[in-house]
Structure 1
C-alpha cells in the first residue's frame, strides 16, 4: 500500500505556500505532493525538466481518444467547454468515463493570460475539515449520477450507462477520505456533463450540490493559481479537485499529461 504523509495544516493558504518548489529544489517534488496534494515547479534552475520527463516517473501515461497529451487553449467555434475562455467547474478527473483511474495530473504553461485563467485547486483534507458536520453526514449517504455531454472525446462508457458515484470515498491506496465529484452549471449550454443526486428532486439536488460548491470555494479550501510561463503544476487527483477561472479575451495555453 502506498504511504503518504498527512497534511499538517488544512488551510489552503498555508498548503499553497508549502506546495512551491523553487528552482534548484525540484527534488522536493514527491515530498510536497504527499504533503500538499499538489506541487508547483517554478521555472529555471539546473533541475528544470520537461513535463514528458517528470510524469512517467509518477505513473503510466493515460491514453485518451486524443492521445496522452492534451493542449488546452481556446479554439474558434468549439462546442467543448475545455477549449473556450469560460470557467471550468471543480471536478475530479476520471470517474465519469471508461478510462483508467487518474492518479496525477501534470500541466505545463506555454502562454499565461494577464487577467484570469487561474487553475483552481481545492484540497480534500481542507474540505473535510471546514465543511459543516451535517453536510458531511448527508454526503456519506448519497450517490451522484453523471451524464456525459461530450461523448466520443474520452473513452466512453457503454451507451445508456450513466455512472453513479459516491462523492465521499476512502482511497484504497492512500487510505484517506477523498472527494470524487464533478460540479457543473446546469444553465451553461456548453457544460461537459449533467449531475444529479440520485433519489432527489431537481431543486433539492441543485440545493445540495450548491452547498458543496460553497464550501469548496471557501478561501480555506480553494487556491487560485495564477500561471507564469514555464511553470509546471502537478496535482494528486486523489487528494485535490481542480477547475479553471474564466479568462475572456485573453490567450492561455497549457499542455496536460495525466498518469495512472
Structure 2
C-alpha cells in the first residue's frame, strides 16, 4: 500500500491527472502548491454534484465538548464506507481539506478494496460473498433505519455497477466499546459468530499491504473514491484537528 500512497500524491495542477490518479489509486493527496489557486469547493465540484445531508453539503469536523457523535470527538473512527447503510444519496468522492493539523495522531485511514481482495485469506472473501450484515443503530441519526424495527441489511462484497469492480461495503465496530455507534450482525449468525467475523475482516483491512494512514499537513486536500476504499480515522487525544469535508455524487 505504501507504493500506492506514493503515487497518490498529485503535484500537477491538471484536472485530468487528478482523475487519472483517482482511478489508479482510489485516492489522491493534493499539496497546497498543487491547488493552483483553485479552492477546495472548485476542485470537488469539478468531480460531481454536492451530496446533501441534513446539515447541508459541507461539514466542519472538529472536536465538540460532550458530543455523542464520534465524528466530533478525538476518538478513532472505525473503517467504513459513506452512505451505504441509510438509503441516502450515492457518494462517489469524499473530499477533505485540513485547516488545523494535530501534532500526533488523527491520521485518515484508507484501505484499498483491490488490495484487500489481493491479500485477504481466500476463505474470508468466500464467506463475505455469501452473507448479509445487519446494522443496528445505537446513536440517533448516525445510521438511518429504514423503518421501525427494519434495520439496514447490506452485502459486504458488492460489484459496483459503474466501475464493474468488486467493492467492500462495511461499517466496522467494536462490540466491547460502550460508546460504539452501531452493532453489526451477520443475518442468521449469533452475536459471538458475527463479532469473530467482523474482527477477521478488520484484521485483513488493517494489514500494511491494504491500509494507508495519512498524516495531515495544513492546507492539504485528500479525495477518496468511496467505491474503491473504506476509510476511518486514528484517535488524536489532547490534540486540535479541524477538517472541512465535502462529498459529491
Distance in 2, matches of 1:215 and 1:48, equals: 40
Query: By how many angstroms is 1:155 displaced?
Result: 5.8
Q: Deviations over 1:178-231 (max 9, x none)?
A: 000000112223222211111111111111111110010000000000000000
Q: SS of the counterpart of 1:134?
A: helix
Contact conserved, 1:65 with 1:155, CA < 8 A, in 2? no
Distance in 1, matches of 2:38 and 2:146, equals: 35
Distance in 2, matches of 1:198 and 1:154, equals: 18
Over the residues paired in the alignment, what is the CA RMSD in angstroms? 1.5
Could you tell me which residue of structure 2 aligns to residue 223 of structure 1? 212
Q: TM-score, normalised by structure 2?
A: 0.95
- The alpha-carbon distance between structure 1 residues 46 and 219, as it changes in their structure 2 partners (threshold 3 A), is closer
The answer as to 2:49 corresponding to 1:60 is yes
Q: Which runs of 5+ in 2 are unaligned?
A: none
Could you tell me which residue of structure 2 aligns to residue 250 of structure 1? 239
Contact conserved, 2:85 with 2:143, CA < 8 A, in 1? no
Contact conserved, 1:25 with 1:47, CA < 8 A, in 2? no
Contact conserved, 2:145 with 2:152, CA < 8 A, in 1? no
Could you tell me which residue of structure 1 aligns to residue 164 of structure 2? 175
Could you tell me which residue of structure 2 aligns to residue 165 of structure 1? 154
- The alpha-carbon distance between structure 1 residues 105 and 45, as it changes in their structure 2 partners (threshold 3 A), is closer
Distance in 1, matches of 2:35 and 2:194, equals: 51
Query: By how many angstroms is 1:49 displaced?
Result: 1.9
Equivalent of 1:121, from 110, 120, 126? 110
- The alpha-carbon distance between structure 1 residues 210 and 45, as it changes in their structure 2 partners (threshold 3 A), is closer
Contact conserved, 1:88 with 1:246, CA < 8 A, in 2? yes
Query: By how many angstroms is 1:26 displaced?
Result: 5.8
Moved over 6 A (4+): none
Query: By how many angstroms is 1:64 displaced?
Result: 0.7
Could you tell me which residue of structure 1 aligns to residue 122 of structure 2? 133
- The alpha-carbon distance between structure 1 residues 89 and 98, as it changes in their structure 2 partners (threshold 3 A), is same
| Correspondence 1:35-54 to 2 at 5 A | 35-45=24-34, 47-54=36-43
Q: TM-score, normalised by structure 1?
A: 0.92
Distance in 1, matches of 2:20 and 2:103, equals: 31
Contact conserved, 1:66 with 1:153, CA < 8 A, in 2? no
Q: Which runs of 5+ in 1 are unaligned?
A: 1-11
Q: Deviations over 1:154-176 (max 9, x none)?
A: 76533322111000000000000
Contact conserved, 1:64 with 1:155, CA < 8 A, in 2? no
Contact conserved, 1:23 with 1:48, CA < 8 A, in 2? no
Could you tell me which residue of structure 1 aligns to residue 186 of structure 2? 197
Q: SS of the counterpart of 1:44?
A: helix
Contact conserved, 1:122 with 1:223, CA < 8 A, in 2? yes
Could you tell me which residue of structure 2 aligns to residue 78 of structure 1? 67
